[in-house]
């Protein structure tokens, strides 16, 4: 069966955050901190009861305390200038480079959301927090020092 023939409203499945990362970043970049975005509510309709959602996000506190405003590096002979700053609870990242005489610039915005905001959002969308980690090694989440905020939620 081809995926084009599936009717998603009829399916119940489990989702992984890495499959939704870009979509999620776009949603979190434009929606208020304390309101579950409509897109997230729509996605939750597809997560079956008892299903698991894993959210991998940066730790807001760590980002605020350790943000490096400018990085310059070279990859495969191309020099990149990466600038990051915080503006109104969003991290703005600009990547600039020149390749074969053409200038490029890309901008990414992601909301700064902490554990409390995710906890509120999880409640709004019917998820319980089953586990919380602060690293890919699944170490404990420490608000002041963990680089990541990895949440494991289960649909109620």
Tokens 């599936």 — which residue? Answer: 6
* Strand-pair partners of 82: 71, 95
pLDDT tens by residue, 70-96: 999 999 999 999 999 999 899 999 999
Report how far residue 78's alpha carbon sits from residue 64's, in angstroms, rounded to the nearest whole number.
29
Tokens of 119: 């906890």
Residue 147 has which token pair? 């680089």
pLDDT tens digits along 7-45: 444 444 444 444 455 555 555 555 545 566 676 777 788
Which CATH code fits 3-62+114-155?
3.40.50.150
Q: pTM of the entire structure?
A: 0.74
Residues 111-121: tens digit of each pLDDT: 899 999 999 98
Domain coordinates in residue numbering, the chain: 3-62+114-155, 66-109
Taking the C-alpha atoms of residue 48 and residue 131, their distance in angstroms, rounded to an integer, is 19
CA angle at residue 41 from 37 to 47, to 5 degrees?
A: 140
* Bridge partners (DSSP) listed for residue 90: 87, 111
């Amino acid at each position: 069966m081809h995926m084009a023939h599936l009717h998603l409203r009829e399916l119940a499945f489990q989702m992984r955050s890495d499959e939704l990362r870009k979509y999620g970043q776009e949603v979190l970049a434009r929606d208020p901190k304390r309101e579950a975005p409509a897109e997230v509510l729509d996605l939750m309709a597809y997560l079956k009861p008892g299903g698991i959602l894993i959210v991998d996000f940066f730790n807001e506190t760590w980002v605020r305390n350790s943000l490096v405003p400018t990085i310059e590096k070279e990859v495969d002979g191309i020099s990149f200038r990466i600038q990051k700053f915080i503006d109104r609870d969003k991290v703005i990242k600009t990547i600039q480079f020149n390749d074969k005489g053409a200038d490029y610039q890309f901008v990414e915005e992601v909301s700064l959301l902490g554990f409390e905001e995710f906890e509120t959002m999880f409640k709004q969308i019917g998820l319980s927090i089953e586990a919380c980690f602060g690293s890919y090694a699944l170490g404990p989440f420490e608000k002041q020092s963990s680089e990541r905020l990895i949440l494991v939620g289960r649909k109620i």
